[in-house]
C-alpha cells in the first residue's frame, strides 16, 4: 500500500518547512508532518487561526482524494502484492483456487434458486424460464466439475511444494473433493439436472397436447416425470450424507467453506409439479 501516501506527505512537509519561516514556527514541524500528515491540520489552525477554514477544506479534500487513490491503486495491484511472496507454483494453484471459489459461488446461488422451484405455472413461458434455469445450472455444474478435476490434479502434482509453503488448507479442499460421498453427490446432481431438464423440455414442447390429456403425450410425460422423481429421490439421499460429512469436515476446517457446495437448510429440492 502507500502508493501515493508518501509523495503527498513529502509535499506537505516541504510546504510546512517553507511556511514555518514565514510564520515563525519551529522547522521541526516539517518532520512531524512528514511522518504524520494529519497533523498539518493542527499546524494550519495554529498558524492561521480564524482564517483556516479554506485551507482546512482543501486539506480535507486532499485527504479524501489520497484515500480514494490508495484504494483504487491497491485494488489494481493487490494480486501482485499478495502473490509476490509465493513461488510460481503456489501462485498458479492460488489463482486456480480463486476460479474454483467463483465457480462454487455461482453453483451455490443456482442451487438456492432451484430449491425454490417446487412448482411452475401452467404456461409455456414459465416452463421455458424454469428450463433455462436448470439448463444454465447444468452448464455451471459441468464447468465446476472440470475445474475440480484440474484442481485435484495440480494439487497432487505440487503437494510437497504446497506443504513447504504452508498451504495445508489447499490440501484439505482436495481431500474434500476426493471423498466418495462428495463424488457421488456431484454425479447424482448431474443426473438429477439432466432428468429435470428433459422433463421441462418435453413439457414445454408438448404443452398443449399434455394439457388436453392426449394419451400418447400424457404417457410420455408420466415417463419423464417418474424418471425425474427417481433421480430426485436418489440424489436427496446422497445429499443428506454429503451435508452431514461436510458439516463435520468444516468443524475442523472452517476456512475452506467458500470453496465447498452449499448446505441446504432442508431436504434438498421439493418435488416439481406442473400446476
pLDDT digits (tens, 9 = 90+) for 99-120: 888 888 888 888 888 777 666 5
Residue 254's pLDDT is: 92
Q: Based on the domain organization, do 10 and 134 belong to the same domain? A: no
Domain endpoint, select from 39, 65, 82: 82
Overall number of domains in the chain: 2
Q: Based on the domain organization, do 94 and 56 belong to the same domain? A: no
Q: Based on the domain organization, do 26 and 161 belong to the same domain? A: no
Domain endpoint, select from 65, 82, 99: 82
Residue 1's pLDDT is: 46
Q: Based on the domain organization, do 57 and 126 belong to the same domain? A: no
What share of the chain has pLDDT > 70, as a percent? 64
H/E stretch holding 240 reads helix 215-252
How much is the pTM? 0.67
Integer-rounded Cα Rg, in Å, for the chain is 30
Q: Please enumerate in sequence order all residues whose Cβ is within 8 A of that of 211, keeping only pairs 6 or more positions apart, or say none.
A: 122
Distance between CA atoms of 133 and 241, rounded to whole angstroms? Answer: 26
Which stretches of the chain drop beneath a pLDDT of 50? 1-2, 267
Please report, in angstroms and rounded to a whole number, the separation of the first and last CA atoms in the chain. 58
Distance between CA atoms of 228 and 197, rounded to whole angstroms? Answer: 9
* 51: DSSP letter: G
Q: Based on the domain organization, do 95 and 36 belong to the same domain? A: no
Q: Based on the domain organization, do 228 and 150 belong to the same domain? A: yes
Q: Based on the domain organization, do 106 and 214 belong to the same domain? A: yes
Q: Based on the domain organization, do 22 and 144 belong to the same domain? A: no
Count CB neighbours of 152 within 10 A: 15
* Partners of 273 in the β-ladder: 119
Q: Based on the domain organization, do 144 and 67 belong to the same domain? A: no
* Partners of 119 in the β-ladder: 273
Could you tell me the residue range of the domain that residue 199 belongs to?
A: 86-274
Grid cell at residue 117: 422451484
Amino acid at each position: 500500500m502507500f502508493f501515493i501516501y508518501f509523495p503527498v506527505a513529502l509535499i506537505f512537509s516541504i510546504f510546512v518547512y517553507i511556511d514555518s519561516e514565514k510564520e515563525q514556527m519551529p522547522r521541526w514541524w516539517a518532520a512531524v508532518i512528514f511522518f504524520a500528515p494529519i497533523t498539518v491540520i493542527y499546524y494550519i489552525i495554529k498558524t492561521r487561526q480564524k482564517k483556516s477554514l479554506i485551507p482546512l477544506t482543501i486539506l480535507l479534500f486532499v485527504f479524501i482524494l489520497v484515500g480514494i487513490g490508495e484504494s483504487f491503486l491497491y485494488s489494481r495491484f493487490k494480486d501482485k502484492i499478495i502473490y509476490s511472496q509465493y513461488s510460481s507454483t503456489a501462485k498458479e494453484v492460488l489463482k486456480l483456487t480463486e476460479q474454483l471459489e467463483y465457480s462454487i459461488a455461482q453453483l451455490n446461488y443456482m442451487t438456492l434458486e432451484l430449491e425454490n422451484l417446487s412448482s411452475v405455472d401452467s404456461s409455456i413461458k414459465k416452463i421455458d424460464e424454469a428450463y433455462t434455469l436448470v439448463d444454465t445450472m447444468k452448464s455451471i455444474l459441468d464447468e465446476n466439475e472440470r475445474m475440480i478435476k484440474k484442481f485435484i490434479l495440480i494439487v497432487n502434482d505440487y503437494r510437497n511444494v504446497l506443504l513447504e509453503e504452508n498451504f495445508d488448507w489447499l490440501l484439505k479442499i482436495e481431500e474434500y473433493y476426493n471423498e466418495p460421498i462428495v463424488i457421488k453427490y456431484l454425479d447424482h446432481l448431474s443426473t438429477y439436472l439432466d432428468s429435470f431438464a428433459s422433463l421441462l423440455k418435453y413439457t414445454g414442447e408438448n404443452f398443449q397436447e399434455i394439457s388436453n390429456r392426449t394419451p400418447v403425450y400424457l404417457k410420455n410425460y408420466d415417463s419423464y416425470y417418474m424418471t425425474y422423481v427417481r433421480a430426485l429421490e436418489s440424489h436427496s439421499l446422497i445429499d443428506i450424507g454429503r451435508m452431514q460429512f461436510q458439516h463435520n469436515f468444516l468443524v475442523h476446517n472452517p476456512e475452506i467453506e467458500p470453496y465447498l457446495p452449499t448446505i441446504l437448510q432442508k431436504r434438498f429440492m421439493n418435488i416439481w409439479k406442473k400446476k
